[in-house]
Structure formats: C-alpha cells, structure tokens
Amino acid sequence: MKETIEELRLRFEAESDLKIKETLNDWKSYANWLEKISIQEINNETIVENKKLRKACWQTIDLLETVLTSSLKN
C-alpha cells in the first residue's frame, strides 16, 4: 500500500532529522529523498518482473528441451 503524503513527510523527518519548513533547502532535500524512494520502488518492481521473466524463459527452455529430447528418441 502506498504511503500518504503525510506519512512520507513524517518518514522523511524521522530518517533525516530535518523538519520540512518553508525554506528551499528543506524542500529540496525532501524532493531528492522522494526521488530516491521512487527510484528504489521502480528498481524493486523491475527486479520482480525480471525474476518472473527469467522463470518463464527457463520454463520455455525446459519445455523445448523435453520436446526435442522426445522427438530425437522417436
């Protein structure tokens, strides 16, 4: 489940010991942190998808090997 904006702000403040105030540097730090979190989520999703694709490829290779082996026996 995605975190709400308030939860993200509280998490940022807890992890960085910075309070999001009206200063540009605080917001810049927060924006950079959000970008880092987004990139990590995208990377995690990519890893999961790669594992699924790898599994599908190996299943296809196993099936092809089984078909070829059985056709060579006949």
Please name the amino acid found at residue 58: W
Query: Running DSSP on this structure, what letter comes out for residue 19?
Result: -
pLDDT of residue 28: 87
pLDDT of residue 1: 65
DSSP helix/strand/coil, 3: coil
Q: Which residue has the higher pLDDT, 74 or 55?
A: 55
pLDDT of residue 48: 95
Whether this model's pTM surpasses 0.75: no
pLDDT of residue 22: 67
